[in-house]
Amino acid sequence: MSMSPSPLLPILVVELTRGESPRAPLSIGARALPSGRSWRGTVSFVRFVALRSMVEGFRQATRPGTAAPMVSELLLSLGIELFDACFAPFWEKLRADPREEERSHLTIALISPELELLNLPWELTRLPGGGPIALEPEVTLFRAIAPAVGETGSAVGSICLERWSEQGRVTPASLLLAAPAEVLRAIGFPSAACSEVATLPGWPNLFGWAPTDRPPLTELRDRLCETQATRLHLCGECRLHRQRGYFFWEPTGLQEPEPVSGRELVEQVIAGTAVKEVILSPGREQESLPTAAIAGLCVDLAAHGAPLALSWPLFPGEGGAGRAFLLGYYRESLSGTGAGGPALTMAGRQVQEKWPSSGVWALPARYSPWPCP
């Protein structure tokens, strides 16, 4: 299902950023497109602490073994708190836009260098007079990672999020944004960045690799060292291979993807770099979540010292295993019938029971590292 915006499609861009000081207030900016109206406000340090408290509450809600009533209570309260913290200051202004009555769909883009803030269950944000965003057919939510102050870039698989400057504003060349190129352009990214993102999945020739070549692990490592990237996002498939969990690069052209073990990823790519987090997403073509393969690969990565986060893709619109998994997770949690989806719980328990202090944590879908189909 195409999610390309019509001329009347409103896009609310919410930016969550901080200054150089750790105690700098969290700045929240929002702009509505295509009307061009924009607003900016700040959240006090006290409110920033409250957002951090929400992060901890969400971790508690997704921890294996958490009682179902507690999960439901935490997620319901988070949905209300998220709206009050980040949407309430702009909501009435957006609704007061004279073109509002001409629109039938709202796209919300969240942009922040704070990964933990993006990890919050924004899909549960409860809009005035309605239910959670995840269950609102007229609202689509996207997430994007922006570079933090002092960072030189991030990496998504083979894709380096190098910075570029336009009109004095420093932004990454391409973002982890689940949006088609039209949305990226509307938000304000240059055509070059949009075309790069639009080629995903597959390797968009940023580093001179031929489209059908699997990027050598050593070259990927060189790029991580060169850019001092702090995040590595692995987009591909997790499969069982020889009774172990392996990562498979997404296939390009007619070439069959090759298996890579967690040890190979750590020793040949991550070790000695500035990477502080490895974000693992199953491939977009996977219709089910191979929990044994995911857990096996996570255990292998964690055993060799990789800091991990799990992510499942979210595809707006009908279809997509990621969206089905996400909605199932939230419905199950909100109804009080279980502490998260069975696949999430199984993978999380297998990893956390074996490596309880490894920093591995499992969450439902947070953002998608490729454009929507």
Please give the model's pTM, rounded to 2 decimal places. Answer: 0.48
Beta strands in the chain (DSSP E): 11-17, 26-33, 38-43, 106-112, 139-145, 155-156, 159-160, 163-166, 169-172, 231-241, 244-249, 259-260, 277-281, 308-310, 361-362
How far, in Å, CA of 95 to CA of 172, rounded?
30
pLDDT in tens, 354-365: 444 333 333 333
- Model pLDDT for residues 110-138, shown as the tens digit of each residue: 766 665 676 677 777 887 877 777 666 67
Q: Which of 23-37, 82-96, 155-169, 341-355 has the lowest mean pLDDT?
A: 155-169
Tell me, what's the pLDDT at 78? Answer: 80
Q: Taking residues 364-372, what's their average pLDDT?
A: 29
- Report the length, in residues, of the chain: 373
pLDDT surpassing 50 at residue 318: no
Nearest Cα residue to 91 out of 40, 54, 128, 130: 128
Residue showing tokens 């105690």 = 23
Give 320-327 contacts, CB < 8 A, sequence gap 24+: 320/373, 321/286, 321/287, 321/288, 321/289, 322/284, 322/365, 322/368, 323/365, 325/289, 325/364, 325/365, 326/123, 326/134, 326/364, 326/365, 327/134, 327/135
Supply 270's token pair: 């991550």
pLDDT in tens, 216-255: 677 677 767 766 666 666 656 677 777 677 877 655 444 5
Binning the chain into helix, strand and coil, the percentages to the nearest 5 are: 35, 20, 45
Q: What is the pLDDT of residue 207?
A: 34
Kindly write down the DSSP assignment for every residue of 285-314, as one continuous string.
Answer: T-SS--HHHHHHHHHHHHHTT--EEE----
Task: Tally Cβ neighbours within 10 Å of residue 123.
Answer: 24
